[in-house]
Amino acid sequence: MPLPAGVYRADHVGSFLRPQPILRARETLDGANPIPAADLRVLEDEHIATVVHKQIASGLQAVTDGEFRRAWFHIDFLQHLAGVERHGSLSSTNVTSHGVTPPKLVVVGKLGHPQGIQVEDYKYVEGVREKEVKEAGDAKKVTTKVCIPSPTMVHFRGGREAISTEAYPTLDGFFEDLVKAYQAEIADLYAAGCRFVQLDDTNLAYLCDEGMRSEAAKRHGEDPQKLTKQYVSLINAAVSQRPKDMVIGIHLCRGNFRSQWFAEGGYEPVAEVLFKELDVDVYFLEYDDARSGDFSPLRFLPENKTVVLGVMSSKKAELDDKEDIVRRVNEAAKFCPRGLDQLCLSHQCGFSSTMEGNDLTEEQQWAKVRLEVEIAKQVWGDDLSV
């Protein structure tokens, strides 16, 4: 059985370390003399073209904009939905070791999708991809991937308290409008030519953590297992109108801020619902250390789905041990119905889920990517698209 279109044996989650010129420009945005939006866009374009080139040159065949236009992987998308505003920060229970708390999203009115959020960004990357492939004279397949936050990100962290009771006296209408907004974004992306969308979701992974399950039960007033099923239904509805030739992936993350993590616990609490009921084609799963548990939850994986196994680490500067990675991939394959054929390889998360980035250099980042491609070829052969 072939891999889903746009998925490769050596794959990645999407974000890369921001170049210093972008970081310096973004640091002005909250000051007295912010860089004009048009100038920032030109600067981003320049560096996105470079990062697309570096992805292809390093052997990756799925390319993204590196999330260079975002400060946070989720905020910079979700705040463009009608009815969503950014208000201060989350509670101190979400504080990082660097003294940073993530921004808080508040639903202040009816949710809506006034225009495509990622469409122009996709078109720019796709144009760069086409130019790169043409100039290289390379017949290999290269796909532009769009990464957007999962719809669960609008609900989990704030809960009922962060959703206007005037706009939504009950949550049924909230979820219905949230689904419609995502359906509209996916339709707009498809019309622009996009055929691969990856949803980035921390919340299904957080519901693997016993402490966070307890917090979620208090915040949402319901059993975490019920919440898991509710989120799966939400995502399924959001992607339900996608055309047959659009591939949907989901990345589960336990936190990735400046090499720090936030949650721990194996996938067992959510595995059966995640693999059997969630209507996606491919799972990007964090598996870089013991915090993610063992591979046994993969026993629930249906034969027609693929897992991009995040056994390599984007959090540390040193290279992963090649033989250890090969061993772990083969160990995971024992739990999959079709073995290695259902697996691909990646780092557990992106290199820069927020603009600050993980604690390594760009040179170290690309060395890690090249090693990943090398390992994938050792395991599956030179053709990484099958």
Q: What is the pLDDT along the chain (386 residues), one digit of tens a residue?
A: 899 999 999 999 999 999 999 999 999 998 899 999 999 999 999 999 999 999 999 999 999 999 999 999 899 999 999 999 998 765 544 444 445 677 889 999 999 999 999 999 999 999 999 999 988 876 578 999 999 999 999 998 888 889 999 999 999 999 999 999 999 999 999 999 999 999 999 889 888 887 877 777 777 777 888 899 999 999 999 999 999 999 999 999 887 776 675 777 889 999 999 999 999 999 999 999 888 899 999 999 999 999 999 999 999 999 999 999 999 999 999 999 999 999 999 999 999 999 998 999 999 999 999 999 999 999 999 999 99
Spatial neighbors of 384 by CB under 8 A, at least 6 apart, are 8, 9, 10, 59, 61, 373, 376, 377
> What pLDDT is attached to residue 46?
98
> What pLDDT is attached to residue 342?
98
Q: Strands 62-63 and 196-201, how do they pair?
A: unpaired
List the one residue out of 270, 320, 311, 276 whose CA is nearest residue 291: 311
> Would 6 be classed as within a structural domain?
no
Spatial neighbors of 198 by CB under 8 A, at least 6 apart, are 13, 14, 145, 146, 147, 148, 248, 249, 250, 251, 284
Q: What is the pTM of this model?
A: 0.94
Q: Which residues pair with 308 in a beta bridge?
A: 284, 344
Q: Which two tokens stand for residue 173?
A: 């209408």
Running DSSP on this structure, what letter comes out for residue 374?
H
> What pLDDT is attached to residue 219?
73
What residue type is 76 in one-letter code? D
Under DSSP, is residue 37 helix (H, G, I), strand (E, B) or coil?
helix
| CA–CA separation, 15 and 355 (whole Å) | 9
Q: Which residues pair with 312 in a beta bridge?
A: 347
> What pLDDT is attached to residue 94?
47
> Would 109 be classed as within a structural domain?
yes
> Would 14 be classed as within a structural domain?
no
- Estimate the share of the chain in helix, then strand, then coil, as percent rounded to the nearest 5: 45, 15, 40
> Would 386 be classed as within a structural domain?
no
Domain interval for residue 72: 20-380
- CATH value at residue 38: 3.20.20.210
> Would 13 be classed as within a structural domain?
no
List the one residue out of 156, 154, 273, 164 whose CA is nearest residue 216: 156
What residue type is 175 in one-letter code? F
List the one residue out of 44, 66, 45, 46 whose CA is nearest residue 55: 66
Counting the structural domains of the chain, the total is: 1
> Would 124 be classed as within a structural domain?
yes
**Helices 119-136 and 37-57, packing angle to 10 deg:** 40
Neighbours of 363 (CB within 10 A): 10
> Would 2 be classed as within a structural domain?
no
> What pLDDT is attached to residue 296?
98
Spatial neighbors of 35 by CB under 8 A, at least 6 apart, are 25, 28, 29, 43
List the one residue out of 305, 299, 261 whose CA is nearest residue 280: 305
Q: Which residues pair with 356 in a beta bridge?
A: none
> What pLDDT is attached to residue 90?
57
> Would 136 be classed as within a structural domain?
yes
Spatial neighbors of 266 by CB under 8 A, at least 6 apart, are 208, 292, 293, 294, 296, 297
Greatest CA separation for the chain = 58
| CA–CA separation, 384 and 274 (whole Å) | 26
